[in-house]
Amino acid sequence: MDADRQALYETCQRMGVGITVMKAFGGGDLLDASMSPAGKALTAVQCIHYALTRPAVATVLAGAHSLEQLEESISYEDAPEAEKDYAGTFATFPNISWKGHCMYCSHCAPCPNKIDVAAVTKFLNLAKAQGEVPETVREHYGALGHYAGECVQCGACETRCPFEVSIIENMKMAKEVFGK
């Protein structure tokens, strides 16, 4: 995601402002490998799930040119997690590098110490984007059941991350930023 757009989404999340996503399919381009800027196609379910997992996104407006397209979008509600998973497809995009960028996909899970690595990383990124820890972000972090400071640096999460995120470093930084 563009850095300015990411900052906007994170600011909206911090301020409790919901975002409605339009063009989640890129005008249909993301659904067609020959038109996709990445050179590979995603499914409608993957596009919707990606949009809904961005900070502050409350809803996705999915356009449709046919009943079939509408039904495909509606199928998101009943789709199993495996169908929603966009991480594997993103990781293979030939024209875009996602290396080192957490997509909050939770492929790093499970953590042996039950840390929600994706949530910790999301809150860390929100704090970094603001240059401080907004009270709402601190509260959300505080509501987690387990914290970055509980990380034992086993590295299991990093072996599962399709984006090669430096999760151990993120956990160290989150412990420093949030104090636990």
Distance of CA 148 to the CA centre of its chain: 18
Bridge partners of 20, per DSSP, are 59
User: Tell me, what's the pLDDT at 107?
Assistant: 86
Per-residue pLDDT tens for 98-113? 678 787 888 899 999 9
Return the number of other C-beta atoms located less than 10 Å from residue 82's C-beta: 7
Per-residue pLDDT tens for 107-136? 899 999 999 999 999 899 888 877 889 898
Q: Are 56 and 19 in contact (CB under 8 A)?
A: yes
Q: Tell which residue, 87, 88, 95, 26, has the closest CA to residue 62.
A: 26
Which residues, other chains included, contact 117 with Cβ-Cβ below 8 Å and sequence gap of 6+? 106, 108, 109, 111, 157, 167, 170, 171
Q: Which helix (H) or strand (E) holds 14?
A: helix 3-15
Radius of gyration of the chain from its Cα atoms, rounded to whole angstroms: 17
The single residue listed with the structure tokens 């966009």 is 86
User: Tell me, what's the pLDDT at 94?
Assistant: 67
User: Tell me, what's the pLDDT at 90?
Assistant: 78
Q: Tell which residue, 59, 48, 51, 178, has the closest CA to residue 125.
A: 178
SS3 of 74-128: the string is HHHHHCCHHHHCCHHHHHCCCCCCCCCCCCCCCCCCCCCCCCCHHHHHHHHHHHH
Distances in Å between the Cα of 74 and the Cα atoms of 35, 44, 46, 61, 111 are 23, 9, 12, 11, 32
pTM of the model: 0.58
The single residue listed with the structure tokens 């409790």 is 16
Q: Which residues of the chain have pLDDT under 70?
A: 1, 27, 35, 37, 94-98
Break the chain into its structural domains and give their ranges. 3-91, 117-178
